[in-house]
Amino acid sequence: MGLQCGIVGLPNVGKSTLFNCLSNAKAQAANFPFCTIEPNVGVITVPDERLTKLTELVNPAKVVPNTIEIVDIAGLVKGASKGEGLGNQFLGNIRATNAIIHVLRCFDDDNVIHVDGSVDPIRDKEIIDTELQLKDLESIDKKLQKVEKAAKTGDKEGKKAFDVLTVYKNHLLEGKSARTAPVAEEDKEYVEDLWLLTAKPVMYVCNVEEKSVNTGNAYVEKVKAAVADENAEVLVISAQIESEIAQLETYEEREMFLEDLGLKESGVNKLIKAAYHLLNLSTYFTAGVTEVRAWTITKGFTAPQAAGVIHSDFEKGFIRAEVIKYIDFITLGSEAACKEAGKLGVEGKTYIVQDGDIMHFRFNV
């Protein structure tokens, strides 16, 4: 579906190190600001144990997992909204993404320079939030000027647009992001064309030292308190640990390393899964001897919409969908066994695809 999450943060907080662990597209990770000047894009495989189990049962010739794109965006500094540092480039790159992964430094280390001279994740968060909010205010003001005349002449639609934009403006002026503005869902259409930076869903990644990866630390607690009203996920990860895991050759070595640290799963895996969730995505599968494949859809897609992800003709000529629930397929062991047990459902155009459904589409064009 071509969806992207952008990794953002101040220079030297560990975001490029984290990106290197996520992707084979190597961003330069160095101990100085602006080491990532062009946005690096990595296509990341989404870990899914269900795909592994289906593959073991079906033994296909080919396996295709879900992927999302992760973009490592150049570090931002104060004044970016006015073009300072790499500001204009940074803001342009982040506007093109669908969601934000905001990396915050939550560890002390005198050997790693901080662009502002000290460690304070709340200050760092506010610096980036402020720059994004200022840019959004600029966009809001421009549109307000366009609709103000229509609003004053009594145009109903113009008045509504003016009122909604004013709510956003006042909210941003209070130092709050657009995603938390008190606006009804149906009224958000008035700002859709602005692609507001602070309206994008966000996840905060607290980059900690090894000893805090299981328990967190005082910095992490401050971050959680600061974002409590944002309905945002907070992940605790050690980029240093993830870097060490990435250097291990085999799956078994990685598992032993994680076990020694008391971790059930790598931070990278948790981050990828959380990013997938952040984008409001869901998965359905197709399973046959030729190919077992995971397909990415937006949550709430109907069967024809899901079929259209494979090919537009599937959606146009949709007749029906044959659906097997994942748990039934795994329990019974095959499509044939599911059919025999009456576990294959036939669904029409209004069926809402459920996460994990195994589907086969009938269509006619």
CA distance 87 to 131: 9
CATH for 300-363?
A: 3.10.20.30
Give CA separation, 131 vs 90, 154, 176, 182, in Å: 11, 35, 12, 21
* CATH fold for the domain made of 129-198: DNA polymerase; domain 1 (1.10.150)
Which class does domain 4-45+67-118+200-278 fall in? alpha beta
Known binding site for ATP: residues? 12-17
Which segments in the chain show pLDDT lower than 50?
Answer: 25-37, 81, 85-86
CA distance 213 to 16: 19
pLDDT value of position 2 = 61
Compute φ and ψ for 198, nearest 5 degrees: -90, 5
Q: How many helices (H) and strands (E) does the chain have?
A: 13, 12
Query: Tens digits of per-residue pLDDT, 9-25?
Result: 888 888 888 888 876 54
Q: Where exactly are the structural domains of the chain?
A: 4-45+67-118+200-278, 129-198, 300-363
Give CA separation, 43 vs 22, 167, 170, 236, 272, in Å: 9, 37, 38, 22, 11
Known binding site: residues? 12-17
pLDDT value of position 31 = 41
Q: Do 37 and 74 touch, CB atoms closer than 8 A?
A: yes
CA distance 75 to 294: 34
Collapsed DSSP state (helix, strand, coil) of residue 68: strand
Query: Tens digits of per-residue pLDDT, 41-53?
Result: 778 888 888 999 9
